[in-house]
Amino acid sequence: MSGAKYIADTSAFINLLKQHSGLQPLLNATWHYCFITEIELLGKPGITSAEIKIIKELLSTCVKILHTDDITKEAVSIKQQYS
Over residues 15-62, the pLDDT tens digits come to 888 887 777 767 777 888 988 999 999 999 999 999 999 999 999 989
The single-letter DSSP state of residue 30 is P
**Three-class DSSP labels, 30-78:** CCEEEHHHHHHHHCCCCCCHHHHHHHHHHHHCCEEECCCHHHHHHHHHH
Residue 43: how many CB atoms within 10 A of its CB?
A: 19
The model's pTM is 0.71
Compute φ and ψ for 42, nearest 5 degrees. Answer: -80, -20
